[in-house]
Chain A
Amino acid sequence: GAVVSQHPSWVICKSGTSVKIECRSLDFQATTMFWYRQFPKQSLMLMATSNEGSKATYEQGVEKDKFLINHASLTLSTLTVTSAHPEDSSFYICSAHRDAYGYTFGSGTRLTVV
């Protein structure tokens, strides 16, 4: 149990466009989901914490208007990178938390902005 599906696995988009990344908990309801960003050969940096039905809490330095997070249900959170630029190219990983299951990570999304 406790599987998190992240989609898409990779995406290439043009500069100025927006990209949506989905994170779904397949077999459990996640009270909290997290979004991380990972630069090449670096660690994961927490971007924001989202709770179902409420506004996401962003970490310091993360632009909330740039990285829109929606947690519409207990099984789905989305991250939209708006007006993407090459510097937004990165590996984005979501994680879902539910007390009984702890944390489960998605497989990540490689975003390349050209």
Chain B
Amino acid sequence: AQSVTQPDIHITVSEGASLELRCNYSYGATPYLFWYVQSPGQGLQLLLKYFSGDTLVQGIKGFEAEFKRSQSSFNLRKPSVHWSDAAEYFCAVGATSGTYKYIFGTGTRLKVLA
């Protein structure tokens, strides 16, 4: 069965520090992989996505993610966090055919200390 695991429910980092949010997935084949950010009471904004090709994906707002097939992971990174990055981050797996359904991880809430 398809699943997405985000092991860290909460993460707190200082402004300017580096960030890594973990995401592990279970899927029968190579899925489409996504990272979204959600501010309180808001919808989701796509940070980046991986469909195929280069396993290091660059996204908006200085974020990047690396697809590691051997580890079934798609961790999100940012070298220097800004206070405005405080939000909820969701990793998602999308089917590559058929219904195109998404499965979301449980989310990681990021807190940034000034």
Contact = CB atoms under 8 A, between A and B. Distances in A.
A37 to B, nearest CB: 11
Interface string A73-105: 000000000000000000101010100001111
Which bracket fits the contact residues of A?
20 to 34
Interface in B1-50: 32, 34, 36, 41-46, 49
B44 A34 contact: no
Interface residues of B, number: 22
Contacts of B41: 91, 108, 110
Contacts, number: 50
Nearest to B51: A102
Contacts of B106: 42-43
Contacts of A49: 99, 101
A44 interface: yes
A44 B90 contact: yes
Most buried by B among A36, A105, A107, A108: A105
Interface in A40-96: 41-46, 49, 57, 91, 93, 95
B23 to A, nearest CB: 12
A25 interface: no
Nearest to A32: B100
B99 A57 contact: yes
A95 B102 contact: yes
A95 B49 CA distance: 16
B107 A34 contact: no
Interface of B: 32, 34, 36, 41-46, 49, 90, 94, 99-107, 109
Given A32-B100, A34-B101, 18 more contacts: A34-B102, A36-B104, A41-B109, A42-B107, A43-B104, A44-B104, A49-B99, A49-B101, A57-B99, A91-B41, A93-B44, A95-B102, A97-B100, A102-B32, A103-B100, A105-B44, A106-B43, A107-B43
Interface of A: 6, 32, 34, 36, 41-46, 49, 57, 91, 93, 95, 97, 102-108, 110
